[in-house]
Structure 1
Amino acid sequence: MVRSFAALLMVLGMLGQSASAQEASITEWRKDREEVMDKPVKPAIRKKVTKENNIPRWSFGLNGGYAYRLFRAGMVFSHDEQEYIKDLKSGIAFGGDIAYFPWKHVGLGLRYEMYKGNAKMDSVQSEKVTIQHLSGALIHRSFLKNGKTAILTSLLLGYQPYENRSVVLAQPLTFSGKTMNWGVSVGIEQPISPKFALNLTGTAMMGAIYRLQRKTEFSTETLHLSKDDSVDLSRFSVTLGFRFL
């Protein structure tokens, strides 16, 4: 009897210790869980590396290429005259520009371009034409899917001097004038390094001169031209250039 009672007490003691151990274990588990709930671990914040940080704000470029004037010629009677007009319309264009983009897609700039063309018909007549333009530009920039190649569309407005050094029947003449000009250009720009890019640009310029100054060896006079007799400076150019970003 005594032995049975002692055995019973031993079993109850073991059960009590087991229950206490389980309760402590549960309490520990709950405590740990509460600490985790009370102090949530904040996920590490990753800094976003955006492509906009790599887009240049400033750029400077130089370019050159082919240009073609769009004026209408008068009555042409001979093949020599046709070739003369063709040569007079064709020329070269070269220049440079600088641009600043305060926003990703919109920028402002300055552009300078010089057109040069010349034509000669035997010893009877020759002309050497120089047309310059200095203009401000409002630029829209969009990117292709690769995020690097850019399409640049510009609206141009500025100042355009004109000079024509002619020789007619061995008599030298110089015609000069100034006018406002406006135009549009569309170009594609491809970076080939973080600081260097190539671009191909097509530009259409419009303008006409209604007052010319004519100089000879002996006199200078001002010519006032009608709309039909005005000097049309409209032209189209395609240029290839490089830009520093």
Structure 2
Amino acid sequence: MIRSFAACLLVLGMLGHSASAQEASITEWRKDREEPIDQPQKPALREKEADQPDFARWSFGLNGGYAYRLFRAGRITSHDEQEYIKDLKSGIAFGGEVAYFPWKHVGFGVRYEMYKGKANLDSAQSEKVTIQHLSGALIHRSFLKNGKTAVLTSLLLGYQPYENKSTVGAQQFTFSGKTMNWGVSVGIEQPISPKLALNLTGTAMMGAIYRLQRKTAFSTETLHLSKDDSVDLSRFSVTLGIRFM
């Protein structure tokens, strides 16, 4: 009887050992196979990365270059006058732009540009012209086949102040006015680093002033101009710039 009881205990002990060994084996089996099941966080990370835009949303740029005014001059009677008008039409343009792209190909921006030009005629007559414009911009961006170089086309609409400081003999005048302006620009942008790009842009601006304020040392007068006598602010510029993204 005692032997039978001992034999039972031995059998139960062996069964218990076998069960615990089997359980340990099952635990290892589960562990080895649950790790790859728990690991699919890499695809999740990839999905997260895919949600992030592969283009810059915000950018800030500075630029400068050559500008040429498109107004039609009156009758020119001498070579000196011809050179004077040529100098008055030619000038420099410089400014900056902030842009935001909520979508890859369409964005919005604010652009500021200043034009400066001057001319002298035999030291008896001179003009120094400053034209500014502050515009809102609707921007379309398309990429070339390399996926990096972008072509930016902008439609501009905004505000344009004008100032002309003139001297005729001993008299000095300041003409000033303001008007709405609109324009278009087309540029190509080439990244040189993840946060920096170079761009070359051509811009055409349109606008005319029909009311001027003329100031002298003694008086201020408002001039109302006809269509034929209006001040044409139309111009074209080519600028080279740097953009931070």
Q: Give the TM-score, by structure 2 length.
A: 0.80
1:91-140 deviation per Cα after TM superposition (whole angstroms, max 9, x unaligned): 00000000000011000000000000000001220000000000000000
Q: Report how far residue 180 of structure 1 moved.
A: 0.2
Aligned to 2:111: 111
Q: Report how far residue 213 of structure 1 moved.
A: 0.2
Aligned to 1:68: 68
- Give, as a single letter, the amino acid of the residue that structure 1 aligns with 2:116: K
Q: Report how far residue 50 of structure 1 moved.
A: 5.4
Aligned to 2:178: 178
Aligned to 1:25: none
Matches within 5 A, 1:1-40: none
SS in 2 for 1:53: coil
SS in 2 for 1:83: helix
SS in 2 for 1:148: coil
- Give, as a single letter, the amino acid of the residue that structure 1 aligns with 2:66: Y
Aligned to 2:140: 140
- Give, as a single letter, the amino acid of the residue that structure 2 aligns with 1:243: R
1:57 pairs with 2:57: yes
Q: Give the TM-score, by structure 1 length.
A: 0.80
Change (3 A) 1:70 1:136: same
Q: Report how far residue 214 of structure 1 moved.
A: 0.2
How far, CA to CA, are the matches of 1:106 and 1:142 in structure 2?
A: 9
Cα RMSD of the aligned pairs, angstroms, is: 1.6
How far, CA to CA, are the matches of 1:52 and 1:80 in structure 2?
A: 61
How far, CA to CA, are the matches of 1:74 and 1:51 in structure 2?
A: 60
- Give, as a single letter, the amino acid of the residue that structure 2 aligns with 1:237: S
How far, CA to CA, are the matches of 2:241 and 2:51 in structure 1?
A: 25
Aligned to 2:81: 81
How far, CA to CA, are the matches of 1:51 and 1:68 in structure 2?
A: 45
Structure 2 unaligned residues grouped into runs of 5+: 1-35
Q: Report how far residue 217 of structure 1 moved.
A: 1.0
SS in 1 for 2:53: helix
- Give, as a single letter, the amino acid of the residue that structure 2 aligns with 1:215: K
1:146-189 deviation per Cα after TM superposition (whole angstroms, max 9, x unaligned): 11000000000000000000001221000000000000000000
How far, CA to CA, are the matches of 1:51 and 1:93 in structure 2?
A: 40
Structure 1 unaligned residues grouped into runs of 5+: 1-40
- Give, as a single letter, the amino acid of the residue that structure 2 aligns with 1:172: Q
1:189 pairs with 2:185: no
Aligned to 1:98: 98
Q: Report how far residue 78 of structure 1 moved.
A: 0.2
How far, CA to CA, are the matches of 1:53 and 1:228 in structure 2?
A: 51
Query: Which structure has the greater CA radius of gyration?
Result: 1
Matches within 5 A, 1:152-167: 152-167=152-167
Aligned to 1:130: 130
- Give, as a single letter, the amino acid of the residue that structure 2 aligns with 1:112: Y
- Give, as a single letter, the amino acid of the residue that structure 1 aligns with 2:99: A
Aligned to 1:201: 201
Aligned to 1:214: 214
1:23-75 deviation per Cα after TM superposition (whole angstroms, max 9, x unaligned): xxxxxxxxxxxxxxxxxx99x78536659733000000000000000000000
Native 8 Å contact 1:52 1:104 kept in 2? no
